[in-house]
Structure 1
Amino acid sequence: MTDDTLTPRLRLSRPVAADLDEVFAIQSDPRVWTHYPSLRHTDPETTIRMMERWERSWSDAGLGSWVARLRDTGEVVGNGGCTLLGGAVWNIGYRIAGDHHGQGLATELAQAGVERARAIAPDRPVIAYLVEHNHASAHVAGKLGLDLVHRAPDAGNPDPGVVRLVYADRPLTPDQLAAALA
């Protein structure tokens, strides 16, 4: 497949409809949503809508989330990459299967996304949009060289005490920050 990207341990592929069951299995696993349990997928329709957003990013910007497979076995172990937000910023995101947490796969996947985003549109900022208590994602953002540029209450979160963080590879304009928070 021409959209495949290889990292040392992963084969990253543009999602196709046949990936739905494996992506849903990851998205519905409570272990991958400990930082934001209300976003856990409880039905495949939620996953289908998410995959449709990924496809729009692929179509509009030439990049979106990949399905991540182990190169040696082909096992689907996650999804992620950079998707376009508001036409203004690349949002790096990922979800790694619970059985594969703590192995550095999120960083490997995220780094590939950042590299591809910078190759496609180097003038577009790369951001990481996360909640403050998601320490693992904040750690990955730091490994990617992103700096904290925004910290505020997470509007719309069912838990009013949650704080939203935005990390970025450069200072953001007000319009870019608005796109990140939309």
Structure 2
Amino acid sequence: MTADRIRVWLGVALLGLVMLGSFWIYEVMRRQSEDEAANAKNRSEPDYYVEHFNFVRLSQSKQTNYRVTGEKLIHFPLEDEFEIIQPRIVGIDQEKTPMTIRADRAIVKQKVQEKLQNKPEDQIHMHGNVLVERSKSDQGSYLKMATDSLILFPDSERMRTAEAITMTTPRANITAIGMEAENNRQKIRLLSKVQISIAPPSAK
């Protein structure tokens, strides 16, 4: 075999090795990408669930306790969030005034910091046929509110929605777009398109 042919075969062999190396690197990268995608998918799937659960917690002010029940509680490890099917939340303050909140489902987000000056706190995002009912007490009359979605802040005893609401009291029917409420201060703020229909007082 001449020197020229040796050089040609060496060149072919080197080219083959380069091609094999490139193919191997491509396969390693492809498999790594597939593995990462599979792991990400697996992480976004629930890792455990609890059926027919019931637990109680206190607000940061220790003035209100909340009992949370539901048909199913599901934990998602990637987001570290909980989904509750058919949630029912009962809050009872120091004045023994119960408030019940129901919905089709809820997402519990833990320790969310909305603003830099605010402390991180838990949020409960209620979705679908949300109904809030507050019993009559020395602090106020019976109240019922319906909306499509509602965000609860149990630590600071607040709630808010940007959706349309319908609120009913013994003497008034109220509709509005958007609402903010502070349970510990017994304060409700209606944001826009407020309409109020007040029944006349009963004749004595």
Do Structure 1 and Structure 2 share a fold, with TM-score over 0.5? no
Q: Which structure ranks higher in relative contact order (CA pairs < 8 Å, sequence separation ≥ 6)? A: 1
> Which structure: larger Rg?
2
